């Protein structure tokens, strides 16, 4: 790409799915940072966000014709970094309440309703003065998920902390400018026979119709994304990770299994009464691409594997976690995370267009979505230098998506999960009770080793 000229390209298949999903409420990625009171916070925040845009051309892109069948990403020349207006706004809300409000501020929905010739930026930023007695400020960076997945948002968070701490800009990269996910998958890994594609499409559709969900509180109403947080102490985190290792599963499988067990327990069903639940496991595909990318390459390079599991009420945590682990790893070993991207995108679009195809037209595609690998943050020194008290990297799920999306991270040895759900389809009380049970199941399972729970 000539650094002195604008470059545009058509979005890829997965990027197009996010273009369709975001106006409905799923796919707004939010980086939220709570800043300690200190002089120069405004200038530091503006400089930090501008540095991100300088290093990552996709973050200064504009999404054009997003509401049509042929959207494009337009990348301005490297000399043209968009001007930011981060004049701090006063807020009467605390950080967590402000986070939820900002999470549901969706400029791309407005742009879809009234599209302009220049399109909408993929990145928006806002800065707020927090109320006394805590004071300080809150910085929010909102990014369209077509331009930023979960791994990239974690990398951007580290870069933001470094910039706020005065470490300067990182090395520039432009992977997402050149091509999206599908164009980077080796042809030998993406090929799938036509008949196999048809069989899988039928299988996904039938499984989607027969899976159970959590009870819905209010259907047919306007929705937003809300969050509950699930935290473990350092000792509990160590025990849980050790128990996962002993039982031959990853943390994502233990988390998914505990959520399935908690969901079934919440229904007070009889032992032997069968229910089928669906799990979506999200996989970072950067290492499978040609050329391979790292998390510093900002863009959307994830895929999903969906599996269903029958529960009868007598399953133990580690027994079910092993089933979850084996299901998605067997599918991954068969390269379904690469061959089935187009199938799942197609079904996602059909559900967006025909919500009545889902239970109670709720657009729920799974009970829970988990990430194959947690994000690991060892950032206490960076936080201290940057003057950051707390942070979160989350995304909206209230359009199409699971009943709950688990964004797990290990922060300086402590497991911290941001659990995102659509409200009022599900209530905060319902979700808090669900994840109180999830925490109990995981803690008891960690202490009991391989015993049934």
Q: Is cis: bond before 133, omega within 30 of 0?
A: yes
* Residue 453 in domain: no
Residue 118 resides in a domain: yes
Q: Judge whether 133 lies within some domain.
A: yes
Nearest 10 degrees: Cα torsion 110, 114, 116, 120: 10
Q: Indicate whether 418 pLDDT > 90.
A: yes
Quick check: 452 pLDDT over 60? no
pLDDT of residue 104: 95
Other Cβ atoms within 10 Å of 234 Cβ, number: 13
Pairing of strands 89-90, 123-129: parallel
| Whether residues 161 and 193 fall in one domain | no
Residue 170 shares a structural domain with residue 33:
yes
pLDDT value of residue 172 = 80
141-158: b (≥16 Cβ within 10 Å) or e: bbbbbbbbbbbbbbbbbb
Q: What is the pTM of this model?
A: 0.93
CATH of the domain at 415: 3.30.559.30
Give ∠ CA 403-318-248 in degrees, rounded to 5: 105
Say yes or no to pLDDT of 195 above 60.
Answer: no
Q: Is the pLDDT of residue 206 over 70?
A: no
Round to whole Å and give the CA distance between 153 and 86: 20
Range of the domain at 16: 7-182
Q: Is the pLDDT assigned to residue 17 strictly greater than 80? A: yes
Q: Are residues 174 and 237 in the same domain?
A: no
**pLDDT value at position 193?**
67
Euclidean distance between CA atoms 227 and 182, whole angstroms: 31
Q: Are residues 265 and 174 in the same domain?
A: no
- pLDDT score for 171: 72
Domain boundary among 151, 182, 213: 182
Q: How confident is the model at residue 453 (pLDDT cuts 50, 70, 90)?
A: very low
Looking at residues 440-451, what average pLDDT do you find? 81
Q: Is residue 1 part of a domain?
A: no
* 90 lies in the same domain as 198: no
Q: Is residue 177 located within the same domain as residue 261?
A: no
CA diameter of the chain: 67
Q: Are residues 173 and 313 in the same domain?
A: no
Q: Among 165, 182, 199, which residue terminates a domain?
A: 182
Is 29 found in the same domain as 15? yes
**33 pLDDT higher than 50:** yes
Give yes or no: residues 162 and 237 share one domain. no
pLDDT exceeds cutoff 70 at 2: no
Over residues 391-420, the mean pLDDT reads: 95
Mean residue pLDDT of the chain comes to 90
Domains in the chain: how many in total? 2
Q: How far apart are CA 142 and CA 167, in angstroms?
A: 23
Final residue in a domain of this structure, among 137, 158, 182: 182
Mean pLDDT throughout 259-280?
A: 93
Confidence bin at 168 (pLDDT 50/70/90): low
Looking at the fold, whether 170 and 259 belong to one and the same domain comes out as no
The residue-averaged pLDDT of 314-325 equals 96
Indicate the pLDDT class of residue 202, thresholds 50, 70 and 90: low
Sole residue written with tokens 């809150």: 138
The CATH number that applies at residue 112 is 3.30.559.10
pLDDT at 407 over 90: yes
Mark whether 350 and 243 lie in a shared domain: yes
Pair (235, 168) in one structural domain: no
């Amino acid at each position: 790409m000539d650094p002195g000229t604008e470059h545009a390209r058509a979005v890829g298949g997965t990027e197009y799915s996010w273009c369709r999903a975001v106006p409905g409420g799923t796919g707004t990625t939010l980086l939220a940072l709570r800043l300690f009171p200190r002089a120069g916070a405004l200038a530091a925040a503006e400089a930090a966000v501008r540095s991100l845009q300088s290093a990552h051309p996709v973050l200064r892109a504009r999404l054009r014709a997003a509401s049509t069948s042929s959207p494009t990403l337009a990348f301005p020349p490297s000399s043209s970094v968009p001007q930011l207006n981060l004049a701090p706004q006063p807020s009467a809300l605390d950080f967590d309440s402000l986070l939820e409000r900002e999470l549901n501020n969706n400029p791309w929905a407005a742009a879809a309703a009234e599209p302009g010739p220049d399109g909408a930026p993929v990145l928006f930023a806002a800065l707020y003065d927090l109320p006394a007695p805590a004071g300080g400020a809150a910085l929010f960076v909102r990014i369209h998920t077509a331009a930023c997945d979960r791994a990239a948002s974690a990398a951007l968070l580290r870069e933001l902390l470094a910039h706020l701490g005065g470490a300067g800009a990182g090395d520039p990269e432009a992977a997402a400018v050149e091509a999206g996910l599908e164009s980077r998958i080796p042809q030998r890994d993406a090929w799938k026979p036509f008949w196999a594609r048809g069989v899988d499409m039928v299988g996904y559709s039938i499984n989607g119709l027969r899976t159970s969900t959590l009870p819905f509180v209010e259907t047919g109403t306007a929705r937003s994304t809300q969050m509950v947080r699930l935290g473990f102490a350092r000792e509990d985190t160590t025990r849980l990770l050790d128990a996962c290792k002993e039982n031959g599963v990853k943390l994502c499988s233990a988390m998914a299994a505990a959520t399935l067990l908690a969901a079934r327990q919440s229904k007070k069903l009889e032992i032997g009464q069968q229910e089928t639940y669906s799990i979506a496991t999200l996989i970072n595909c950067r290492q499978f691409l040609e050329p391979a990318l790292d998390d510093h390459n900002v863009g959307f390079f994830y895929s999903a594997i969906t599996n269903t599991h029958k529960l009868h009420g007598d399953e133990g945590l580690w027994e079910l976690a092993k089933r979850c682990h084996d299901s998605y790893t067997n599918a991954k070993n068969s390269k379904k995370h690469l061959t089935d991207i187009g199938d799942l995108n197609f079904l996602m679009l059909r559900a967006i267009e025909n919500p009545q195809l889902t239970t109670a037209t709720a657009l729920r595609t799974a009970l829970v979505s988990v990430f194959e690998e947690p994000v690991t943050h060892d950032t206490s020194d960076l936080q201290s230098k940057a003057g950051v008290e707390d942070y979160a990297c989350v995304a909206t799920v209230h359009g199409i998506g699971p009943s709950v999306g688990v964004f797990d991270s290990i922060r300086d040895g402590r497991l911290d999960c941001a659990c995102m759900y659509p409200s009022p389809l599900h209530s905060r009380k319902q979700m808090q009770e669900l994840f109180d049970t999830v925490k109990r199941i995981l803690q008891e399972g960690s202490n009991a080793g391989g015993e049934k729970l």
